[in-house]
Amino acid sequence: MQVTVIGASGRTGSAVVQQALDAGHTVTAVGRESSAFPFDPHERLATVRTDVLDAGALAPVVKGADAVVSALGPRDSGPSEVCRRGAAALVDAMHDAGVRRLAVVSASGAFHGPGDGFVTRTIAKPILQRVLRHSFADTRAMEEVVRASGLDWTLVRPPRLLDRPRTGRYRHAVDAFVPGGIQIGRADVADYLLRSLDDPATASHWVGLGY
């Protein structure tokens, strides 16, 4: 499979790139113009630094892809439109290039839904949503753009992210959060993102993850 990864210089995006290469895929890793990519050169890897908020700049890097994964996110918790603007540019670029399959990293903390326990629903998430109100507002706006895109999208909503090796032992739920799943490693999020690309049952759905 030919996979384009947007936000490839970040910790989740770089895990997607490495796992895709390990699985035998061909990868185009895309980052901001100032990005430093943390992975080694590879014969099936192309790296591109470009304006990830510009559809015209993204169209060439998604052209020919079988699927696109976006792990684009803000660099701090202040006011941001990076997620929304990046999603809008990517959707336009994918339409121009005729590419339909898209998996996007979202955030469980920005939303309430089935699977949330009482403490999560009434205490943990309300606190998070106040503290991270700017980034979560951007996350919600991004999801609206993706949902309205007409593409074959999957929105992946992980809980608290950890830096730990991939285990492959995690739970997921379609259109629901994982009960008690309050954390997950970035490498396991990457694992699920890649798995979802071949799973048509997740198209036009959001997915909760957790250990």
Average pLDDT over residues 23-27: 98
Burial class (CB in 10 A: 0-12, 13-18, 19+), 195: middle
DSSP 8-state class, residue 10: S
Q: Does 75 or 176 have the greater pLDDT score?
A: 176
pLDDT in tens, 54-91: 999 999 999 999 999 999 998 776 788 999 999 999 99
Task: Quote the DSSP letter at residue 176.
Answer: S
pLDDT of residue 77: 65
Task: Give the global pTM.
Answer: 0.95
Q: Quick one: pLDDT at residue 57?
A: 97
Residue pair 169/136 in contact by the 8 Å Cβ criterion: no
Contacts of 196 (CB under 8 A, 6+ apart): 103, 154, 156, 202, 207
Residue 11 CA to residue 188 CA, distance in Å, equals 12
Q: How far apart are CA 138 and CA 159, in angstroms?
A: 17
Between these two residues, 193 and 80, which has the higher pLDDT value?
193
Q: What is the DSSP secondary-structure string of 45-93?
A: EEEEE--TT-HHHHHHHHTT-SEEEE----SSSSS--HHHHHHHHHHHH
Rounded-to-integer distance, Cα 106 and Cα 108, Å: 7
Which tens digits make up the pLDDT trace of 121-138?
999 999 999 999 999 999
Q: Which of 44, 41, 43, 47 is closest to 13 using CA atoms?
A: 47
Average pLDDT across the chain, whole number = 96
How crowded is residue 102: how many other Cβ atoms within 10 Å of its Cβ? 26
Q: Which amino acid is at 24?
A: G
**Cα→Cα distances 203→38, 106, 115, 151, Å:** 30, 15, 20, 9
Is the domain covering 2-210 a CATH 3.40.30.10 domain? no
